[in-house]
Amino acid sequence: MVQMKPFLTDLRSALLFITILPAGRNVAYSPVGMIKCFPLVGLILGGLLAAVDAAASLIWPPAAVAVLDVVFLVIVTGAFHLDGLGDAADGIFSHRPREQVLEIMKDSRTGMMGLVAIFCILAIKMAAVYSLKTEEDGWQLLVLFCMVPALARGGMIFGIRFLAYGRKNTGTGRDLFESPIRYGDFVFLLIPVVASLFLGYKGLFLILVFLVCLVAILGFYKQKLNCITGDMLGALCEITEAFLFLAAGAAIV
């Protein structure tokens, strides 16, 4: 059973860590405890996204609203995961030895590979959200808007669970690896999974895409570096979110 006070501390800590949303003052930093709340933060982001989308749709056509939706996600997350995506792309696609790759990721400057990766992911999201808006409406659109960010952020828990941290005593993500991931840390990921059941085969298709993305990305990380960093977790989240939106907006579903 989840105890309310520690749970609220963990949730507020997660909100402050991966978004710019207000979570009150004097929030205790809870790096290990907040991991299980990542899917909940995704649900909150999805709910806000649905509200922004509904409001913007009253004024602008779907193409413009799709752009505004993606810009909203960038703003509300402080481009935190996008920054990780850019750094991870610069490092991994430099084709250098592991230690040099990790050093390149630490560089705050964004190189060409990082810019290309960020541009491609944002473009995929915009096209995907536009497709989603032209294919779905009503409650299904709301469910999908909430599911996708929740699954994408829940995917980071798998990265923490199955790959070792790649840096020694440094890095933004180091504190997340202080304790082993327990089965209970996946509990809130069940919310978007259960929600998928109400979408029929569309929901099952999304879960399948989610699993394929996890296996492909984590397998790629293991093959390239045999470890993971905070930047790579951010890249995992952004790539998974983009392809989940793409799957949600696909005509075949």
pLDDT tens, residue by residue, 127-175: 999 999 888 778 899 999 999 999 999 999 999 999 999 887 776 778 8
Mean per-residue pLDDT over the chain, rounded: 91
d(Cα 245, Cα 121) in Å, to the nearest integer?
11
Residue 252 has pLDDT above 60, yes or no: no
Share of the chain above pLDDT 70, in %: 96
Range with lowest mean pLDDT among 17-31, 70-84, 180-194, 201-215: 17-31
d(Cα 106, Cα 232) in Å, to the nearest integer?
11
Every domain of the chain and the residues it spans: 31-248
- Global pTM reads 0.94
Span 112-123, pLDDT tens digits: 999 999 999 999
